[in-house]
């Protein structure tokens, strides 16, 4: 332990925004004879001057004693983590998690710890994943504790483990994914000893549930630099344990059948998509679609007689593989559906520049994309990675023209809500039929007609309905 130096004083200055709550809580614990320390990611983020509203604390008080100390003081209390020693508290808009000192043991089969309460702050810090998360600030005294050089690693932008990496990852293999996630989030370098252990122990990730892997991977993809994290996953073999399609993009390229490096192209597309995101928050659906858009290429690769490589219908195969993989990773159905739809549509634009698209084709493009249209715009633009400047400029101009055309038709026809010119009630009244399959068939026919020809007036729509019904033998 030491008195704060200048760098650490900056962290305390960052804490001043929340110190009325944190220090008040520290005094309550101190008056009862207990320690309280701000710890882990909260200290790391304070040192990086990016402290949020979620604060982590550790204490020598038991969960029962913590509950007694916060009752009557907290705005809200939750006990969902009580079995793991954690009591949640809300106070003045801040979310606080207070955890009893831990000294965990692992069974070496799952990542589930055998929860054992520790006796000291140092024992608690030793069990943490990385040195940059193994620092603490006592409250209210603001004494800084850094037994594993986390401050130096933070300054050097290096990710290391407090104990030997093999021991740390053997205890909890999920920490290997967390290393890649922090590399993506913080844009830090992972220490070589950590990379070596990740490579040697990648198979241990199979001990982790799909849901936990999914959550870490989602955080990685939502980081500031997911490309760094993705490369680390592929290079260490971790990706092969839960997302082998990405490593599979490394197709062999030879002098006789050259094609673009699909793996490198994919990473560029992800980076391009990130640059096109709205500034408010990472768009996981767009990023995941960019990552998966070409996963169908390995299965569809063919070399023609002229030596040219093709990947016919890779978007169809890719959509199927994406659905299977995201289902295996336990992603929610709505997120999976959106990513799969973007993968299946990402090639639809190509061919527009040849002037073959009618207004009907544009309507169908918009209707098929539905609420994903804005993301599809971004994904399609991101997919242009050619080094040929003229070709890239032409593709960009073509897509500009398509968007302008969509805007024009949108203003004229409200493409976002394309419906038949007659609704179900009108169809039943005109044909004299009850609710049933005929109404649905007629509705779909009229919608297709609407997409092909644009809006029809009432007389035209009725005439088309009667013609369809006669052709189908529904009326004489």
State the DSSP string of 44-78. Answer: HHHHTT---SEEEEEESS-HHHHHHHHTTTSSEEE
pLDDT score at 299: 86
Please name which of 100, 90, 81 lies closest in space to residue 34, comparing C-alpha atoms.
100
Q: Under DSSP, is residue 39 helix (H, G, I), strand (E, B) or coil? A: strand
What CA–CA distance (Å, rounded) separates 44 from 151? Answer: 8
Question: What residue has token string 């998966």?
Answer: 292
- Other C-beta atoms lying within 10 Å of the C-beta of residue 75: 10
Return the domain boundaries, the chain: 6-156, 280-415, 419-471
Instruction: Give the chain's residues under pLDDT 50.
Output: 1-4, 254-258
Cα Rg, the chain, nearest whole Å = 29
What CA–CA distance (Å, rounded) separates 279 from 374? Answer: 14
pLDDT score at 476: 58
Q: Report strand pairing: 144-145 vs 113-114.
A: unpaired
pLDDT score at 141: 86
- Give the DSSP letter of residue 188: P
Q: Does domain 6-156 have CATH number 3.30.2130.10?
A: no
Burial class (CB in 10 A: 0-12, 13-18, 19+), 1: exposed
Using a cut of 0.85, tell me whether the model's pTM lies above it. Answer: no
Burial class (CB in 10 A: 0-12, 13-18, 19+), 95: middle
Please name which of 268, 193, 269, 206 lies closest in space to residue 237, comparing C-alpha atoms.
206
């Amino acid at each position: 332990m030491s008195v704060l130096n200048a760098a650490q004083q900056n962290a305390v200055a960052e804490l001043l925004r929340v110190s009325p709550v944190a220090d008040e809580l520290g005094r309550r614990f101190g008056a009862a004879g207990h320690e309280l320390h701000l710890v882990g990611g909260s200290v790391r983020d304070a040192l990086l001057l990016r402290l949020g509203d979620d604060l982590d604390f550790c204490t020598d008080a038991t969960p029962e004693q913590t509950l007694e100390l916060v009752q009557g003081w907290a705005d809200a209390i939750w006990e969902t983590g009580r079995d793991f020693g954690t009591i949640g508290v809300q106070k003045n808009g801040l979310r606080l998690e207070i955890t009893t000192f831990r000294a965990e043991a692992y069974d070496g089969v799952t990542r589930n710890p055998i929860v054992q309460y520790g006796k000291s702050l140092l024992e608690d810090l030793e069990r943490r994943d990385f040195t940059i998360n193994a620092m603490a600030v006592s409250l209210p005294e603001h004494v800084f504790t850094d037994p594993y050089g986390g401050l130096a690693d933070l300054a050097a932008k290096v990710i290391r483990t407090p104990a030997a990496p093999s021991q740390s990852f053997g205890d909890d293999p999920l920490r290997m994914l967390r290393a890649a996630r922090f590399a993506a989030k913080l844009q830090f370098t992972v220490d070589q000893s950590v990379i070596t252990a990740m490579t040697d122990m990648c198979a241990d990730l199979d001990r982790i549930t799909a849901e936990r892997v999914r959550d870490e991977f989602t955080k990685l993809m939502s980081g500031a630099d997911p490309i760094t994290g993705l490369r680390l996953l592929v290079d260490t073999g971790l990706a092969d344990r839960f997302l082998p399609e990405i490593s599979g993009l490394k197709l062999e390229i030879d002098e006789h059948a050259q094609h673009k490096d699909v793996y490198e192209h994919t990473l560029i597309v992800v980076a391009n998509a990130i640059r096109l995101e709205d500034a408010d928050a990472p768009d996981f659906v767009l990023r995941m679609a960019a990552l998966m858009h070409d996963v169908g290429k390995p299965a569809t690769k063919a070399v023609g007689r002229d030596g040219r490589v093709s990947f016919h219908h890779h978007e169809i195969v890719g959509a199927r593989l994406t659905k299977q993989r995201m289902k295996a990773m336990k992603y929610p159905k709505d997120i999976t559906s959106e990513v799969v739809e973007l993968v299946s549509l990402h090639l639809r634009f190509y061919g527009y520049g040849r002037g073959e698209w009618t207004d009907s084709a544009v309507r169908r493009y918009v209707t098929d994309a539905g609420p994903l249209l804005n993301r599809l715009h971004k994904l399609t633009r991101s997919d242009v990675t050619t080094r040929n400047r003229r070709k890239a400029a032409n593709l960009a101009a073509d897509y500009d023209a398509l968007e302008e055309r969509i805007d024009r038709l949108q203003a004229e026809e409200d493409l976002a809500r394309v419906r038949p010119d007659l609704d179900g009630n009108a169809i039943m009244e005109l044909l004299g039929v009850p609710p049933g399959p005929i109404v649905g068939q007629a509705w779909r026919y009229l919608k297709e007609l609407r997409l092909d020809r644009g809006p029809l007036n009432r007389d035209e729509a009725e005439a088309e309905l009667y013609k369809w019904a006669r052709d189908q033998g529904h009326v004489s």
